[in-house]
Amino acid sequence: MTVQRVNLFRNGGKEHLELLGGKGAHLAEMTKTGLPVPPGFTITTDVCRSFYSTGCQLPAGLMDEAMKALTELEKEQRRTFGSPQHPLLVSVRSGSVTSMPGMMDTVLNLGLNDETVEGLAQLTNNRRFAYDCYRRFIQMYGSVVCHIENIHFERILQKEKNQSAYADDGQLSEESLAAIVQHFKRMFEQKTGKPFPQDVREQLQRAIEAVFLSWSSPRAKIYRQVHHIPDHQGTAVNVQAMVFGNMGETSGTGVLFTRNPSTGERVMFGEYLMNAQGEDVVGGTRTPSPIAELERAMPHVYEELSLSAIQLEQHYKDMQDIEFTIENGKLFLLQTRNAKRNAKAALKVAADFVNEGLITKEEALMRIDVQHLNHLLHRSLQVDDDHVVLAAGLPASPGAACGQVVFEADKADEWKRAGKQVILVRMETTPEDIHGVIAAEGILTLRGGMTSHAAVVARGMGKPCICGCEVLNLDEEQEQLISGNIVIQEGDWLTIDGGSGKAYPGKMELKEADISPELLLILQWADEIRSMKVMANADSPLDARKAREFGAEGIGLCRTEHMFLSPTRVPIVQQMILADKETDRQLALDRLLPMQRCDFEEMFEEMDGCPVTIRLLDPPLHEFLPNAEELAERQNSLHSDEAADTDRQELERMIRRVRELQETNPMLGQRGCRLGIMFPEIYEMQIEAIFKAALCCIRKGVTVLPHVMIPLVGHVNELHLLRKLVDEVAEQVLGEERRNCPYKVGTMIEVPRAALTAGDIARSADFFSFGTNDLTQMTFGYSRDDAEGKFLTHYIENKLLPNNPFQVLDTDGVGKLIEMAVIQGRSRNPMLTTSICGEHGGDLESIMFCQRIGLDYLSCSPYRLPVTRIAAAQAHIRMQWERQLQEAAV
């Protein structure tokens, strides 16, 4: 059915959303469904566009059409627009396609004038009501159509209230209201130079024009800009017969959620106010009653409302948010829309709807907002808007934590042992602080970005962390943290929210993570449906256990360097790095070997039967050494202490080595496989540890699937050389058992050149894992540490970039490289498996991209797994739906 430009509700429907706007489409839908909706019509968004294209003129003939449509309303309501006897009143409301709550204008009670008000009084036998409507109408019309500031109306109202000593509008007497109407009209004439219009057609025309004009009001324009709503979308105008909630004690108005929007429980939820119109509920001078009370007060209305709620849920297959009015005991529905709900409720509603047979599992999954899920998976804060914020930094690792501030890792460890909860605050953390990070509830650093040491370690541990909190000052000597006039000292309580990046002084209440049965059920559905596998980034046996708990089908990335970071190991790693001779380095490596072997063994056991992807050492060696400044300080303090010669020599050696290893751009320096090629003994040790661990496990009956990943390959020769090393060591260690250890060798594609020459590289690779963090850094030429909080923030705020490319994969640039690499890689090696293991592995849009280009699996941090499992299912469903649409189109 085609839509007229003035379209009666009964001729519309939700499929015409773009012409009728949200409100109009759903009013039409409800009308067709037979629900009690006051009759009305919609003037379409086409008319709005036409209005603006002709210099704010309504199209010729439109008012005639509107008046004609009104006669239909008149018939149905048995009243006549402008009739002094049986006056029909209407509401004129905006109705945009995308919801823009409160942004646009509405006029109620239109059709009243000095004559019809008397007619209304007689008709309802309620003169007080009629004048109440009239004074409301004059105020709304005056402010919306004629732009008279509301304060002028409020002053008159207040004066009258003061004179009659009423606190509440509802208590105003018939006489007072009539007096107010007279005052309003006088003031109206003063302000506009014309008397208040008595011609109801003129009233209607000017109200329609005013609603269209409100589309270009400054607040509406700004709202559209912020929410990316195109200007040409336009608004529709709904003209609807008035029903009155303010007609007395059997009338009222209210809002209803078909289920509880906080818990998702299948119980009607909402509130209502008797003898009131819509704006009174919002106004807040009277306290509304909970909807349950309506059952006692007006059982029949309640019954009808309940049935309508069920009918609407079944019709829309979603939880609804309904506006209703009761006029003299009769129920009318004035609006319905899909209800907003919190994450927990969303899960329960989705699960319940499936169980009730209303929607499919696929539909339920598609309704989950994965961004919201994060709140459920971590401890969270409930913060008022006016809570004092100490500072805001980068949201480096989600979740909330609360503890007493300490400024040193040792102290953190010590206090934790003493049973205290601590928050570790540091300028920046180094590997030497690791025991402090482990001991702390959460971490806050003043420097460093989303990939700084603290951030990476904290995310791996699922521990809340804020980084780059540069607005704070840390006075290390005085041991205090300063923000404006707030001073935090050691032992003071601090609460941090790693999801928002905000820190709050004092101890705040935390909400525990909430893994409900519904979440588990939905995760199970996601696993049934999705086609991409989901693995975890896990760097320790503990991580591996967590990963398995959260549903990982293997480990997609084990960063072996994190295994070097425990306080007992760091000194040996440093010894290895400081070694001047290869034999000395070998000695240190010999000590590290059994430690790594032991880690791998536990991880293999934990992941029995699942692949474990182990990335060989990646970061530049200087990351394991103290930084130059710190060493210089140590050296200065040595001088005064007249320390032993050996200490001094050792320190000088370390300083020399740190200097040697210093790089101008460490991101582009001697790291990844470049390290493995320059110091083959390091990789050899790691490979030996992997296969020795595998051998042990095989003998214990564990099924071992090691995937050895060579990082930062840029030229096939690098991979070729190191693959040979893996094969040789595997042969030596495993011998006969090789056939029970179907290991793979692959590479991380994280350098643009690797993606560009993926065809060549695939010849030596069993798998590609896209390291999208580094790939994004190099493809954009952004150092994440330097960009975030500096120009990148400005870029995103000013729309120079659509998104932060470290959070949402840049499909145009980085994605193009990935797609090229997948196509070329598979064409040269059809057995190649492909995956993504950067932080994008947990982002919905990015996962959709991975699905589209056909990656085999995603890998993300254990705590992100539930989100990723659902997102992967959503991506699969979206692809299927798109395909179906395409097929239908052909």
Choice from 226, 664, 886, 889 touching a second copy (CB under 8 A): 664
Task: Please list the residues that pair with 744 across neighbouring strands.
Answer: 707
Told to check if 454 binds a second copy by CB under 8 A, we report no
User: How would DSSP label each residue in 823-872?
Assistant: HHHHHH-TT-EEEE-SGGGG-HHHHHHHHHHT-SEEEE-GGGHHHHHHHH
Active site annotation includes 837: yes
The Cα 133–Cα 141 span in angstroms is 12
**Looking at 366, 492, 780, 796, which residue binds a second copy (CB under 8 A)?**
780
| Nearer CB in complex with a second copy: 499/815 | 815
Among 152, 375, 435, 453, the one annotated catalytic? 453
Give the shortest CB-452-to-a second copy separation in angstroms.
Answer: 9
Beta carbon of residue 484, minimum distance to a second copy (angstroms, whole number) = 19
| Long-range CB pairs of 528-531, under 8 A, 24+ apart, other chains included | 528/361, 529/361, 529/362, 529/365, 529/873, 529/876, 529/877, 530/869, 530/872, 530/873, 530/875, 530/876, 531/851, 531/872, 531/876
If the CB atoms of residues 389 and 721 are measured against a second copy, the closer one turns out to be: 721
Per DSSP bridges, beta strands 394-397 and 465-467 are antiparallel
Extract the tokens encoding 814. 């980085």
- Cβ proximity of 180 and 158 under 8 Å: no
313 binds a second copy (CB under 8 A): no
Query: In the complex with a second copy, which residue's Cβ is closer, 219 or 653?
Result: 653
Indicate whether 678 belongs to the interface with a second copy (CB under 8 A): yes
Stretch binding a second copy (CB under 8 A), from 22-30, 583-591, 795-803, 844-852: 795-803
Q: Name the residue nearer to a second copy (CB basis): 635 or 783.
A: 783
292 vs 721 by CB, closer to a second copy? 721
Q: Should residue 810 be labelled a site residue for a second copy when binding is judged by CB under 8 A?
A: yes
Least spacing, CB of residue 236 vs a second copy, in Å: 34
SS3 511: strand
Total residues contacting a second copy by CB under 8 A comes to 48
Residues numbered 209-238 forming contacts with a second copy, rule: CB under 8 A: none
State the minimum distance, in angstroms, from the CB of residue 664 to a second copy.
4
Catalytic site residue 387?
A: no
Report if residue 674 touches a second copy, rule: CB under 8 A: yes
Interface map 732-771 toward a second copy (x if CB under 8 A): ------------------xxxx--xx--x-----------
Residues 6+ apart with CB under 8 A from 504: 381, 383, 387, 388, 389, 390, 494, 495, 496, 497
Closer to a second copy by Cβ: residue 383 or 721: 721
| Binding segment toward a second copy, per CB under 8 A, in 30-38, 148-156, 193-201, 669-677 | 669-677
- Whole-angstrom Cα distance, residue 628 to residue 605? 40
Determine which residue in the list 132, 169, 785, 788 makes contact with a second copy, applying CB under 8 A. Answer: 785
Contacts 24+ apart (CB under 8 A), 139-142: 139/184, 140/106, 140/107, 140/108, 140/109, 141/107, 141/110, 141/196, 141/203, 141/206, 141/207, 142/184, 142/188, 142/191, 142/192, 142/196
According to the binding rule CB under 8 A, does residue 635 interact with a second copy? no
CA distance 159 to 780: 65
Which of 837, 850, 860, 876 is labelled catalytic? 837
710, 718 contact by CB (below 8 A): yes
| Contact between 783 and a second copy per CB under 8 A | yes
287 is a site residue for a second copy (CB under 8 A): no
Residue 126 contacts by C-beta under 8 Å, 6 or more apart in sequence? 247, 248
State which amino acid sits at residue 285. T
| Sites for a second copy among residues 690-719 (CB under 8 A) | 712, 714-715, 717-718
Q: How far is the CB of 786 from a second copy (least distance, A)?
A: 4
Q: Which residue in the set 699, 763, 816, 883 belongs to the binding site for a second copy (CB under 8 A)?
A: 816
Query: What is the rounded distance in angstroms from the CA atom of residue 134 to the CA atom of residue 431?
Result: 74
Query: Catalytic site residues?
Result: 453, 837
* Residues contributing to the site for a second copy (CB under 8 A): 663-670, 674, 677-678, 712, 714-715, 717-718, 721, 750-753, 756-757, 760, 774, 777-783, 785-787, 790-791, 794-795, 799-801, 810, 812-814, 816-817
